[in-house]
Structure 1
């Protein structure tokens, strides 16, 4: 089986997972890519593929996207990417995953923490952190998803709006890599196969999501977010 076909199939399954629960697919995919791509190509190829996956998922669920949060997130994202692209080579961001992980855990499960932080939480700040840090830290998608889970109880709203926001993050990431000189055309065959797999997977995941109970879905999503947060924290020390 060719590399292109195999990566297309893998991306289909990871995109289907993300289409059902709203996250997880990107983390699985980036864990697989080092077996197929050189180190310098992993994050750019992953970014373009995830842009396609999230954008298609948002399009398939466009009726459920909370459009009012997008301008705030976009402004924050542009500022975040500009800021972190500028300071990328001057500061150590070793412990950023630790703070992301702790924020997710406390935000999901601590009412006391939420009361203290709610005045600081906004989609401007979430966009700034999620998109800016995505240039360095792999798993920033849960930042926006965590806030959406708190603001909305509808599974379709959470997944579709998170997809719209993450598509902004990955689009800005791709533009940044182009600016820094990465040549996506060198991986055209792989990218075409992965993008096709991502779009079909988004469609399949959107259809399968209807079969999940709403309340159970939110609980499962909170548990998955918590596991991802714990993985971020533990990975710093192991």
Structure 2
């Protein structure tokens, strides 16, 4: 246990728990398409300093999504990604300039409302799914991701509207999130966050996360389109309702 005590400012038991949880949440994201990253950050928020939460989570998710992308790149919807990336760059630059957090509760409620509408409301108009809409989605979700850490459900809901297969949805979502989390290294590096203090914990969580991703992708091949769609909707809805509760709590306190 001595080596665990040296990998982060956290206790050895907490560090080990987060490393194992990274594998489980990566498997969830790979098999259902989304959900693991949000579950992970909710857990990390209970045991980590607030200043380290979003940058550490972002680097772990960079590794997890990057591993998923490497294993499923053949299914990526490249035109969608090519339009998403410039918007993400704009969002990252704005976040790096602001380096502030918007009013507590407002962001959570906004994300939840968008996801629930996308899942259960009328389909997004074609204009929203076009190049301009995708560009705006990339910018907005990247900006939000730098402040609240969990824009995954919002990006996943948008990607799903393009009607890709389950493999295409998972691969394209992983590609979008890989680039989005990559921008956090820039945003929080500019802000002066010391990644070196958490480097070993980040690397170990990424390593176990890659294993979880591999297992999750194997499971994905055995899930029917209908079951995947149902599971995807259930997970996103549950996460959105959680965000509603969290947003209302923060807004009223």
Cα distance per residue 1:37-73 (max 9 Å; x no partner): 3322121111100000001101101111111112211
Shift of 1:131: 0.7
Instruction: Please list, as runs of the form range in 1=range in 2, the aligned pairs for 1:1-238 lying within 5 A after superposition.
Output: 2=4, 3=12, 4-89=15-100, 92=103, 94-111=105-122, 114=123, 117-121=125-129, 122-238=133-249
Measure, in 2, the Cα distance between the counterparts of 1:101 and 1:217.
Answer: 21
TM-score, L = length of structure 2: 0.86
- Cα–Cα, structure 1 residues 165 and 90, in superposed 2: closer, same or farther, change >3 Å? closer
* Counterparts of 1:231 and 1:197, CA distance in 2: 26
Deviations 1:135-191 (A, max 9, x none): 112321122211221212411100111011001110001221112111211122212
Aligned-partner SS, 1:23: coil
CA distance in 2, matches of 1:216, 1:93: 35
CA distance in 2, matches of 1:7, 1:90: 25
- Extract unaligned runs of 5+ from structure 1: none
- Which stretches of structure 1, 4 residues or more, deviate above 4 A after TM superposition? none
Number of equivalent positions: 235
CA shift for structure 1 position 10: 1.6
Structure 2, unmatched stretches of 5+, are 5-11
The alignment yields a C-alpha RMSD, in angstroms, of 1.9
